[in-house]
Structure 1
Amino acid sequence: MKPLNRQTAGITVQRPVKVLQYGEGNFLRGFVDWMIDVLNEKTDFNGAVDVVQPRDRHRTTIKALKQQDGLFHVLLNGIKGGKPTQEKRLISCIASALNPYDDYAAYLKRGENPDLQFIFSNTTEAGIAYDENDKSARTISTSFPGKLTALLYHRFQHFKGAPDKGLTVIPTELIEKNGEALKHIVLQYASTWNLPEDFSSWVNDSIIFCNTLVDRIVPGYPQETIKEVQEELGYEDQLVVTAEPYHLLVIEAPASVKKALPTEEAGLQVKFVSDLTPYRTSKVRILNGAHTTLVPVAYLHGLRTVREAVEDEHTGKFIREAISEEIIPTLDLPKEELEQFANDVIERFQNPFIRHELIAIALNAVSKYKVRVLPSVLEYHKRTGKLPERLLHSLAALILFYKGEWAGKNILLNDAPEVLSFFRETWLQHDAPEVVEAVLSNTNLWDTDLTKIEGLTALVTEQVKHLQQSEHTVTSN
């Protein structure tokens, strides 16, 4: 079998480097690099990517990228139009891969590139943080924002503060207002490092920091089937990335960024918006909220995976109606757009290539319900004056789930010790109605006393009793 490199793959095209990417992991390669590759194929974007390793740890990916001349395959496995689909793409947009801890001067020199337009990053949620141990632009910083500040300062010096040499920074870390947070820390470093005020002004005036929302499941390297995959590809690709077909990138940015990234021409699911708040809310309530709503109901019904739950006659109908009748009415985007997103979500839940264990999603399920589902409950009540019976049925199932035992078998709960202790002691000391009262009134769990909402306690208690009556009919898989 052939090794994968530009010679064996017959790749001769060289493009100007327009993107500097902090992060070499599966998500960026299966999401951002995949998008850049599609842009190169379908538009006149014509841009390559330089990859930078953001953390000082032993990493084999940078080494493998160098060995494979930046090439790797992305395999898209999932459901499209209700049918299973598999697509493969050889990604050829990466020009170089660099570990800045090996050559800091070479890293800073990346800032001298006149063709550079964009910076993408994914350094985990903890990556956008200030580190007081980062002391100067002259030495390599531990933090990603520190490294970015040093590179921007080097670029500022090299181009003598030219306004047209500014960049667009598009972080994909999963924190709210990620662009604003990153900009704040860059300016904090500029201040504590005593960099010239002109540099801070250049950052404010010439660097665009975009808030973003990203959505794609990227399982990554197919360890269990890699031999079969490589045989099918015909290459010894050590960097294969598997991902679902669905993708969404929402960018809060001015029109100039949309013009520079012609994603619409390429048919990519990228939205440029002035405010991504409603999109974040929709994602949390529909995608994440549906996951959290479904888990306890499906688990107590004897199911163990998301796909089984969605395809089950009872729980499948339950989650579809919960989304369409109780979650979507609480959101402010156009109904057609929300319904399309909901259909996409259900299709993604049915992906036969990804096994989502319900018990894994149940990690910290109480706090997830508070963040993902409870806002829909409260907003539905506010807008209609009624109670969302399905979402509260999920809450009733959650209370029973946290009893830690169902149909004669233990449930492997995974939550904060104080949460588990509260439920364990409450169930030991009380019957169902008292447990419901104690749970709903616990402001440490919900940041509010849910018993104050008229009729809610009675409805949840009724649902708990109904579920208890059905417990003996459940046969766990």
Structure 2
Amino acid sequence: MERLNYEVLKKSGYDGYVLKDAPEKVLQFGEGNFLRAFVDYWFDLANEKAGWNGKCCLVQPIAPGLANMINDQEGLYTLYLRGSENGQKVDAKRVISSVSRCLNPYEADDYKKMMDVAASDDLEIIVSNTTEAGIQYDPSCKKDDCPPSSFPAKLTQVLYHRYKAGKPGIVMLACELIDNNGKELLKCVNQYIDQWELEDSFRKYVNEDCTFCGSLVDRIVPGRIRDEKEVAELEEKHGYADPLLDVGEVFGVWVIEGDEKLNDVLPFKKAGLLDKVFVTPDMSPYKKRKVRILNGAHTGFVLGAYLAGENIVRDCMNDETIKGFMNKMLYDEVIPTLPLDKDDLMQFAAAVEDRFNNPFVNHELMSISLNSTSKWKARNMPSFLGYIEEKGCLPQCLTMSLAAYIAFYSNEIQSLTDAGLVCRRPAGNEYTVSDDRWALEFYYAHRNDTPEALVHAVLTNEQMWDQDLTKIAGLEETVTADLKMIRTEGAKAAFASCL
């Protein structure tokens, strides 16, 4: 079977949108599954729907990468967006043609080519997703390294080369999953300007002529298909082989923080994508929306659902009690505490149910359970406290969720190993709780406590919650009663008591 390229694609009879030649308007640091299923997809739609006529030149952030494979396929790859939308199964194929090539800057020729793109008249936008560890200042990076190891140092070199070539500033879109990603990246660049003793006029260029935008990305990307039989079937169906084939969920939102004048540079508004990709002066409400609704839903129901015998998120959405518990928690207790348009929040919450019901993704509850102590604090605690402040009473589902967290971490504890805290499920099988060591040691130390003593110890543990939760009226008694119900009647019965 021939590998995908433009000639092979033409022979295959593909009749979708394809753009073979266009100027390289984007320099993208990162060539992995996520960026190709997300950022490059949106630029591909912009080419089709807005006549943007642009290509993305990709750069490997680290030495081993996909450059050779991408270049062998002339930048083309197949993307499947799969999931459930408005209750309907979706399995949509698109060949992405917004990528021109991929450079490996750890090879001398490609390093020079990266700098040629940096000084190009066509370049308008730089995008990055170099993982959470990517935006870090490394003082060992030197001005003359070819290339320096850290991404911010590479970016400083790129911008300096562009500045020396007399070219206008760019828009920088940081997609790394850290708070204030754009501001943190700019901070690192300024540190290299100081360390490398670069001129003040370049500092002015970076901080005034260039626009560093934070952004919030939201799409689950499982990546490549691992089932060899399915791969073979798709190759037969497509008429070509594509080892770069990528898979993402249907849902996707890209929130870009900045002035609305950015819409004159970014093509997404013209492409009619404003419900999916949009600019806002403050993205913090949208981050709250994602963390408290999407992530908060996960952490809020999965621990109890696992104790109730479920293993996969999708199966939970087919259980009326668990789904009902999640929806009551979201619509009655979380959404009222959020500072966004209520219709927008309701639509986002409705999409969450579709996303969790994805027929193509087996999202295991145990994988979501990792580090649930810090997750409950970050994702659920703000809604919990906000509800109490607004309503003057305890939120029933979120309170039960806290009890389910305690139950999951304490159910028939067997041992504490290097891998984690070994507990036993009501069904009889063992499971291993993974979290910070101090949290696991805490629960192991309290393994013989009565429900009353355990709940008191958890709620007064300020290392967990940064406060003494027993000061909240009625909470200790309610969580204790909820924990007892989970242990005696089962988690599903406990969830049902909230409905």
Q: Return the offset for 1:12.
A: 6.8
2:221 corresponds, among 198, 215, 218, to 218
> When the two structures are superposed, what TM-score results if normalisation uses the length of structure 1?
0.95
- Residue 422 of structure 1 aligns with an amino acid whose one-letter code is F
- Residue 86 of structure 1 aligns with an amino acid whose one-letter code is D
Rounded Cα–Cα distance in structure 1 between residues aligned with 2:182 and 2:126: 11
Rounded Cα–Cα distance in structure 1 between residues aligned with 2:382 and 2:234: 43
Rounded Cα–Cα distance in structure 2 between residues aligned with 1:391 and 1:111: 50
CA spacing shift, 1:45–1:472, aligned 2, 3 Å: closer
Q: Return the offset for 1:2.
A: 2.8
Mean CA deviation greater in 265-274 or 121-130: 265-274
Helix, strand or coil at the partner of 1:346? helix
| Aligned residue number for residue 6 of structure 2 | 6
> When the two structures are superposed, what TM-score results if normalisation uses the length of structure 2?
0.91
Rounded Cα–Cα distance in structure 1 between residues aligned with 2:491 and 2:189: 59
Q: Return the offset for 1:411.
A: 2.3
Q: How many matched pairs?
A: 467
1:139 corresponds, among 146, 149, 155, to 146
Contact 1:71 1:90 in 2 (8 A): yes
Helix, strand or coil at the partner of 1:49? strand
Rounded Cα–Cα distance in structure 2 between residues aligned with 1:302 and 1:267: 44
1:77 corresponds, among 73, 82, 85, to 82
Mean CA deviation greater in 332-341 or 302-311: 302-311
Q: What CA deviation, in whole Å up to 9, does each residue of 1:380-403 have, x standing for no partner? A: 101111111101101111111101
| Aligned residue number for residue 290 of structure 2 | 283
Q: What CA deviation, in whole Å up to 9, does each residue of 1:263-286 have, x standing for no partner? A: 234343012101001110111000
Q: What CA deviation, in whole Å up to 9, does each residue of 1:342-367 have, x standing for no partner? A: 00111100001011100110000111
Rounded Cα–Cα distance in structure 1 between residues aligned with 2:161 and 2:433: 50
Residue 92 (1) aligns with residue 92 (2): no
- Residue 460 of structure 2 aligns with an amino acid whose one-letter code is S
- Residue 4 of structure 2 aligns with an amino acid whose one-letter code is L
Rounded Cα–Cα distance in structure 2 between residues aligned with 1:471 and 1:145: 51
| Aligned residue number for residue 415 of structure 2 | none
| Aligned residue number for residue 453 of structure 2 | 434
| Aligned residue number for residue 256 of structure 1 | 261
Q: Return the offset for 1:406.
A: 2.7
Rounded Cα–Cα distance in structure 2 between residues aligned with 1:12 and 1:423: 58
Gaps of 5+ in 1: none
Q: Return the offset for 1:473.
A: 9.3
Within a 5 Å distance, the mapping from 1:345-384 to structure 2 comes to: 345-384=352-391
Helix, strand or coil at the partner of 1:116? coil
Rounded Cα–Cα distance in structure 2 between residues aligned with 1:94 and 1:472: 49
| Aligned residue number for residue 65 of structure 1 | 70
Helix, strand or coil at the partner of 1:454? coil
Residue 209 (1) aligns with residue 212 (2): yes
CA spacing shift, 1:277–1:93, aligned 2, 3 Å: same
Q: Return the offset for 1:137.
A: 4.2
Q: Return the offset for 1:296.
A: 1.2
Residue 322 (1) aligns with residue 339 (2): no
Residue 409 (1) aligns with residue 414 (2): no
Q: What percent identity do the matched residue pairs reach?
A: 41
Q: Return the offset for 1:193.
A: 0.3
Mean CA deviation greater in 315-324 or 227-236: 227-236
| Aligned residue number for residue 469 of structure 1 | 488
Q: Return the offset for 1:194.
A: 0.7
Rounded Cα–Cα distance in structure 1 between residues aligned with 2:126 and 2:19: 25
Mean CA deviation greater in 135-144 or 367-376: 135-144
Q: Return the offset for 1:81.
A: 1.7
CA spacing shift, 1:99–1:356, aligned 2, 3 Å: same
Contact 2:128 2:176 in 1 (8 A): yes
